[in-house]
Structure 1
Amino acid sequence: MRAVTAVDPDAPFVPSGTLRRVSRTFALSIRLLPAAMRRPVELAYLLARAADTIADRGDLAADRRRGGLEALRGALAAGRLPAPLPRPRGDAHDPTAAAEADLLDAVPRLLAGLAALDEADRADVVTVCDRLISTMLDELATFAGASGHTPVALADARALRDYTEGIAGCVGAFWTALIARHAVPLDEGARRALAIEGRRYGRGLQLVNILRDGEQDARRGRVYLPADELRAAGLGPESLAEPAAAPALAPVRARWAARSRHGLLAGIAYAARLPVRPFGVRVATLLPAAIGLRTLSALERRGFDASGDRVRISRQQLRATIVRSAMACLTPGGPRRLARRPRRPV
């Protein structure tokens, strides 16, 4: 039997400060959604973020991380958590780490919120979170034994596509289901077309992360660019952490940057397909694509140079991107015009 704890339907699942620290962009965009859509979206995000916190615990052995992910996965099906999840060490100087610890402490409340959703929303949240956790478990297996000294790369383009689909593309289908249920009535054909674009969109967003964080990931032993493409360029997985290898890596990175851009443009096409109202749904759909395109352009201008600071959009630039996205959503064709707007350097 599902264990259900009473939960105030209007109360936040976690303090607003915790949400901002684990994702400033999501904390902004969640406010734009209608209330009926906001609850399942927020729950899915926070549960996925809790899973990601467990999967990325560098201070924890892989088998304990795997156990934590399996426990969370089982709790989604059972509606209760039989034992506390492995909590990251607190760090008074790292507000993100503290927020992640608070998020894991909030998992029982998240599960209570999940039980309070209607059946269709609950099923969609469980399905997307199960797919995400499954991908994280596969990721742990792929990179088992990898380190900064002996990094491991994904085998080929198919492996990278499967990873980006499992960690982000599936979210596009989830988003589409909630839009159709709570915001915009869609016939089966329109829903299917949006789900396809939504999957491409999610994969494109994840490729931005991979291209932005490639050197940092390689130092942890994880290389997401395909091993066969690296070999064809005369390189190995360790090359991503070597600035001297940047010229040889450039064609590989450029190919995946083009695929990322294609996915982000699918996101803009997705937003353009939505009606102007409900306005907040359109803006929340478009905003990640606008931020992603800006980040990708900055990476391309830098030649994916690892010697400088990590590319990050400032608060001022984020506010400007939000304003441009909102303005673009005021007219039916506005999102497509945003795709043609020249980008200033980040």
Structure 2
Amino acid sequence: MTESEKRSLLRGILKQVSRSFYLTLWVVPEKVRDQLGLAYLFCRAADTIADTDLIPPTERLKYLHLFREQFQSSRISREAIAEIQNSLVQHQGNPAERALLSHLTDGFRIFENFSRQDQDQIRKLVTTLTQGMEMDLTCFQAEASGMLRALPSERELDQYCYYVAGVVGEFWTRVIMGHFQSLQGWDEARMCKLGGHFGKGLQMTNILKDLAKDLARGRCYLSQNMLDEFKLNPQALKEPGGVVSLRPLLASLIRVTVYHLEGGWQYILAIPRREIRLRLACLWPHLFAIRTLERIYHADDLLNPQATVKITRREVYFTMILTTLLVFSNRMLTRYYEHLRRDLITRIVGE
């Protein structure tokens, strides 16, 4: 595969599948761009397999396991990839996801050209992350039974967030440490832990933002014991006016999310100031998440599956421009972050 074809695959499909991550990848230093981009595509492919609603959960689980086996084996089976494609591509209504699965073979060709170290990191990432998709398919049987259920406890919620996002923070850490001399002084264990918190914070933001859409699919990632504590149940969240009853629990969950994002902030400040692109690639999703949390808390239509809670394009561009100007200064960045964080917490406490 030529360099031009590789770029077409990674950037073309990435732009279709996720504009937000494509934006982040654009600023990532070139020497790790392909590794991070392809890893993201593999993770999205696993997610697409798990979310193919037109086939039963048992079949999806079968193909998810088949996909995972390619990362657990020393040899990639072209026959297995073809089986996944032949069985699932036809069921994809989203053109981007159809293109993603159609190009899996090309993705594995790129993967085979990476260094052994980078391959090993991607293998570990996908093997762990697919355990989160497996939780989705085994814990939530609403599509088959018509029942809506929640995760049992905070322990399962935290485990799920680790599987699908915390491990991404660890992966990101190990990949960039392997390619940047300026990061050789990092304590790998500490930075992986902070990276894990960073990933969990981003995932918790997504869970809260997509709550209504997940409920419509029979999935409630809010734990049952937390719902019980606030005298709620998953079904009640789908009723008119449910958002008012949800707000006290929402405030508690936002505090948990901010706790994880605090780890993410320590992670960002540990990146050497001269590594501008690495800093920006972490700053943008972090600050977008903080801004989104405030939108989530105040959204009257949070539980409407037809509504989308997100920050404005103006806020996105403002954040990108401001952080580009402040990227060299830990003091100025922290002052801005503390302003956003304090404003978020104060608004929640004040109600």
Task: Work out whether the TM-score is over 0.5.
Answer: yes
**Residue 3 (structure 1) aligns with:** none
Equivalent residue letter for 1:325: T
Structure 1 regions of 5+ residues with no counterpart?
1-5, 92-96
Alignment check: 8 A CA contact 2:148 2:219 kept: yes
Alignment check: 8 A CA contact 2:291 2:340 kept: no
- How many pairs align? 335
TM-score of the superposition, structure 2-length normalised? Answer: 0.88
Deviates more, 1:73-82 or 1:162-171: 73-82
Inter-partner Cα distance in structure 2 for 1:30 and 1:338: 24
Inter-partner Cα distance in structure 1 for 2:133 and 2:310: 25
Alignment of 1:79-94 (within 5 A): 79-82=76-79, 83-85=82-84, 86-89=88-91, 91=93
Deviates more, 1:311-320 or 1:259-268: 311-320
**Residue 198 (structure 2) aligns with:** 201
Residue 159 (1) aligns with residue 156 (2): yes
Q: Cα RMSD over matched residues?
A: 2.4
Equivalent residue letter for 1:29: T
Deviation, 1:331, is 2.0
**Residue 134 (structure 1) aligns with:** 131
**Residue 272 (structure 1) aligns with:** 269
Deviations 1:174-223 (A, max 9, x none): 11111211125445762222111110111111111111111211111100
Deviation, 1:106, is 0.9
Residue 29 (1) aligns with residue 24 (2): yes
Alignment check: 8 A CA contact 1:223 1:237 kept: yes
Structure-2 change in CA distance of 1:153 and 1:118 (3 Å) = same
**Match 1:321 to one of 319, 329, 333:** 319
SS in 1 for 2:269: helix
Deviates more, 1:9-18 or 1:176-185: 9-18
Structure-2 change in CA distance of 1:120 and 1:17 (3 Å) = closer
Equivalent residue letter for 2:330: P
Equivalent residue letter for 2:333: P
Alignment check: 8 A CA contact 2:211 2:302 kept: no
Q: Compare the two structures and name the one with the higher helix fraction.
A: 2
**Residue 147 (structure 2) aligns with:** 150
Structure-2 change in CA distance of 1:244 and 1:147 (3 Å) = farther
TM-score of the superposition, structure 1-length normalised? Answer: 0.89
Equivalent residue letter for 1:43: L
Residue 191 (1) aligns with residue 166 (2): no
Deviates more, 1:273-282 or 1:69-78: 69-78
**Match 2:50 to one of 30, 51, 55:** 55
SS in 2 for 1:298: helix
**Residue 240 (structure 1) aligns with:** 237
**Match 2:105 to one of 97, 105, 108:** 108
Structure-2 change in CA distance of 1:319 and 1:148 (3 Å) = farther
Structure 2 regions of 5+ residues with no counterpart?
345-351
Equivalent residue letter for 2:165: A
Alignment check: 8 A CA contact 1:183 1:278 kept: no
Deviations 1:46-77 (A, max 9, x none): 00011111111122211121122112112233
Residue 74 (1) aligns with residue 72 (2): no
